[in-house]
């Protein structure tokens, strides 16, 4: 026995700052997502990260700063993932479809990120709610813009700003809620869940009950 366990209780290997910061962030997202902001302790985060507490403070500042940084990072990753999935040239329904697929794809592959973003951040009264509400607001605005743009294509009288924004809020909420539901029922692939929401918000129950469904126009994206 060489006593060669990779987990040294004593001292951690020496690493450049940037790498350590990444590790810490990953650990923080993990712990925050499992326990929530308050229940998570800096001690546990440092342990998961494989370093000691003072390093946290040296590198990422206070607990609140750390949490806010986590939110910013994960939210940015998600927004980018969605933006990359959507092309502005497409017609409205296809844009919506692409966005939904990108969204559920991201959530499926980044559950911890999603937990931090959605469940934790929105419920803490601190400066995080602000941070998160900001991101969420941007998402809503984006969807709202898409809606307004869509109605410009057609003969609709006008889609008021507030009206579009509230519809976008409803849509974003539906996505969030369905994502949560999906995490509790992870049997189905992302594409199926996305298609379901697409049908709900594009066709509506009225059509669904009547047996009409929406299909993606081309044959280039079906399931995960």
Partner DNA sequence: AGGTAAGCCTACTGGCGAGTAGGTAAGGCG
Partner DNA sequence: CGCCTTACCTACTCGCCAGTAGGCTTACCT
Establish if 25 lies at the interface with DNA (CB under 7 A): no
Distance CA 65, CA 42 (A): 12
Any contact of residue 167 with a copy of itself (CB under 8 A)? yes
| 175-to-5, 26, 81, 139 alpha-carbon distances in Å | 44, 25, 15, 12
Stretch that binds a copy of itself, among 13-21, 50-58, 61-69, 119-127 (CB under 8 A): 119-127
Is residue 180 within the footprint of a copy of itself (CB under 8 A)?
yes
Q: Using the rule CB under 8 A, is 139 a contact of a copy of itself?
A: no
Q: By C-beta, is 51 or 146 nearer to DNA? A: 51
CB-based burial label for 207 (10 Å; 0-12, 13-18, 19+): middle
Q: If you search the block for the tokens 């910061």, which residue do you land on?
A: 21
Show the site string, 145-164: x = touches a copy of itself by CB under 8 A, - = not: --x--xx-xxxxx----xx-
Name the CA radius of gyration of the chain, rounded: 21
| Nearest to a copy of itself of 20, 97 (CB atom) | 97
- Distance separating alpha carbons of residues 205 and 125, to the nearest angstrom: 36
127 belongs to the binding site for a copy of itself (CB under 8 A): no
Mention every residue, 6+ apart, whose C-beta is less than 8 A from residue 200. Answer: 174, 208
The contact mask relative to DNA for 53-92 (x = CB under 7 A, - = no) is: xxx-xx---xxx----------------------------
216 scored as a contact of a copy of itself (CB under 8 A): no
User: What percent helix, strand, coil does the chain show, rounded to 5?
Assistant: 70, 0, 30
Asked if 134 touches DNA (CB under 7 A), the answer is no
Question: Looking at beta carbons only, is 39 or 170 nearer to DNA?
Answer: 39
């Amino acid at each position: 026995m060489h006593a060669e366990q990779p987990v040294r209780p004593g001292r951690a290997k020496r690493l450049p700052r940037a790498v350590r910061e990444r590790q810490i962030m990953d650990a923080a997202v993990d712990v925050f997502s499992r326990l929530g902001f308050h229940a998570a302790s800096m001690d546990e985060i440092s342990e998961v990260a494989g370093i000691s507490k003072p390093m946290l403070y040296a590198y990422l500042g206070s607990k609140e700063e750390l949490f806010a940084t986590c939110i910013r990072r994960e939210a940015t990753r998600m927004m980018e993932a969605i933006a990359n999935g959507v092309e502005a040239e497409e017609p409205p329904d296809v844009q919506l479809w692409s966005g939904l697929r990108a969204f559920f794809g991201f959530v499926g592959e980044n559950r911890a990120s999603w937990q931090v973003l959605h469940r934790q951040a929105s419920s803490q009264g601190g400066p995080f709610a602000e941070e998160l509400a900001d991101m969420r607001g941007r998402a809503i605005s984006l969807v709202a813009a898409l809606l307004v743009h869509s109605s410009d294509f057609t003969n609709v009288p006008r889609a008021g700003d507030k009206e579009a924004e509230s519809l976008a809020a409803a849509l974003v909420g539906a996505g969030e809620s369905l994502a949560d539901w999906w995490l509790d029922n992870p049997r189905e692939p992302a594409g199926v869940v996305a298609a379901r929401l697409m049908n709900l918000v594009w066709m509506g129950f009225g059509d669904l009950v009547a047996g009409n469904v929406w299909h993606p126009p081309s044959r280039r994206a079906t399931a995960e």
